[in-house]
Amino acid sequence: MNSILMVCPYIYPHVGGVESHVRDLSIYLSRRGFKVTILSNDIPPGYSRIKIDNVDIIRTRPIIEVIRMPIDPQIYRNVLKMASDYDIVHGHFPPPLTPYFAIKAAKKAEKPYVLTYHCDPTLDNRFLVFLEDIYNSFMGRALVEGSDAIIVTSESYKRTSKILWRVHKYWIIPNAVDIQFFDGRDYASIFREKYSIHEDFVMFVGRLVPHKNVEVFIQAAEYTGLKHVVIGDGPHRDHLERLTRRLRLQDRVLFLGKIPREDLRAAYSAASIVILPSLSRLEAFGIVLLEALAMGTPIIAADIPGVKTIVDTIGLPKFNPVDPKDLASKILKILEDYDSIKSIVKNGQEVVRKYYSWERVVDKIIDVYKIILG
């Protein structure tokens, strides 16, 4: 066993949790001696092939993209054509059609298929929720029943999933953090000097899209009296900036947009607390929580399956994601008892280093590969 064909709907430089996971997993497998190719349908026009850290990335242009779902039958043809050169096809979900094409091709080529189930398919538009039901009834079931192994990031998420609850053969393998990069050293002064933020602040990191629920993070600024820093960009930014102006919180809420990775590391060092307010099942874990903990920063997470896993593990607060006053009270409670909270965070750092490093997560995924290959 030494070759893996990764298949995912999008890949770097497209920004997102699944894309980052697939890129980093592939790089770490490559460093272990695996031949890894990522097949994706990402950047138009046409056919594109690049290499990152000895990992080949092949991208084809989808026929069309509908509600953030690329439709690209070339994925089926390419997996079928390439499968003979690989031991395992490893698909990543969602969106649904790409892993569906991949599993059909893998089965036709008689290759084992591993599925990492990152989150349930969820649509922000309530008028389209019937599509979720159609998917759950047909395509979702075909994927989970046809996979030789299913990887899920947490037990609580699996147990509450409309698709996964009936699955009995699965592996819980969490997301991972690059602990060599997020090394726990103090970079706070770098961030404060570059961005001229010298007071205490709490921070959100992520794409500015509806399911991240950044509204509640902004609204909580009415009650904390603190600077609230938003790092990230996305289609929801204009709406969030209008909300900030409407609440007259321009002096408390600061939008920095997307910043370099080195600056993000420094921002984690400088922040008093990092908050993940996500409301939707599109957020199944929350890598930013691991990154913040690795840097020694307290975290608060929304009380939803998957996302709350890490705060429950180490004993940090979670909050009602539709209640900005609840979030504000949890923020102020941490700040009132910051010294004792920092000792909890210190233990959390050790938990992250022991259980959530890429080295450990890759070990677990390789074990899954070995099992399905016999």
Indicate which CATH number applies to the domain containing 244.
3.40.50.2000
* Encoded tokens for 367: 């074990």
Let me know whether 12 and 154 are in one domain. Answer: yes
Residue 166 CB partners (closer than 8 Å, separation 6+): none
Let me know whether 326 and 229 are in one domain. Answer: yes
Let me know whether 24 and 55 are in one domain. Answer: yes
Let me know whether 311 and 366 are in one domain. Answer: no
Let me know whether 153 and 278 are in one domain. Answer: no
91 within domain boundaries:
yes
Question: pTM of the entire structure?
Answer: 0.89
55 within domain boundaries:
yes
Let me know whether 363 and 271 are in one domain. Answer: no
324 within domain boundaries:
yes
CA angle 242, 122, 228 (to 5 degrees): 35
117 within domain boundaries:
yes
Residue among 129, 268, 141 at smallest CA distance from 204? 268
Residue with tokens 């961005």: 195
Let me know whether 162 and 201 are in one domain. Answer: no
Let me know whether 312 and 219 are in one domain. Answer: yes
Residue type, 264: L
Residue among 181, 200, 223 at smallest CA distance from 325? 223
Let me know whether 49 and 156 are in one domain. Answer: yes
343 within domain boundaries:
yes
Let me know whether 241 and 327 are in one domain. Answer: yes
What secondary structure, in 3-state letters, does the chain show? CCEEEEEECCCCCCCCHHHHHHHHHHHHHHHCCCEEEEEECCCCCCCEEEEECCEEEEECCCCEEECCEEECCHHHHHHHHHHHHCCEEEEEECCCHHHHHHHHHHHHCCCCEEEEECCCCCCCCHHHHHHHHHHHHCHHHHHHHHCCEEEECCHHHHHHCCCCCCCCCCEECCCCECCCCCCCCCCHHHHHHHHCCCCCEEEEECCCCHHHCHHHHHHCHHHHCCEEEEECCCCCHHHHHHHHHHCCCCCCEEEEECCCHHHHHHHHHHCCEEEECCCCCCCCCCHHHHHHHHCCCCEEEECCCCCCHHHHHHCCCEECCCCHHHHHHHHHHHHHCHHHHHHHHHHHHHHHHHHCEHHHHHHHHHHHHHHHHC
Local confidence pLDDT in tens for the 374 residues of the chain: 689 999 988 777 766 788 889 999 999 999 999 999 998 876 555 457 788 888 989 887 765 555 566 556 778 888 999 999 999 999 998 776 788 889 999 999 999 999 999 887 765 555 555 666 666 666 777 788 889 999 999 888 888 887 887 788 899 999 999 999 999 999 999 999 999 999 999 999 999 999 899 999 999 999 999 999 999 999 999 999 999 999 999 999 999 999 999 999 999 999 999 999 998 777 768 899 999 999 999 999 999 988 888 999 999 999 999 999 999 999 999 999 998 998 999 999 999 999 999 999 999 999 999 999 98
182 within domain boundaries:
no
Let me know whether 80 and 162 are in one domain. Answer: yes
Let me know whether 349 and 365 are in one domain. Answer: no
183 within domain boundaries:
no
Domain count, the chain: 2
19 within domain boundaries:
yes
| Domain interval for residue 320 | 188-355
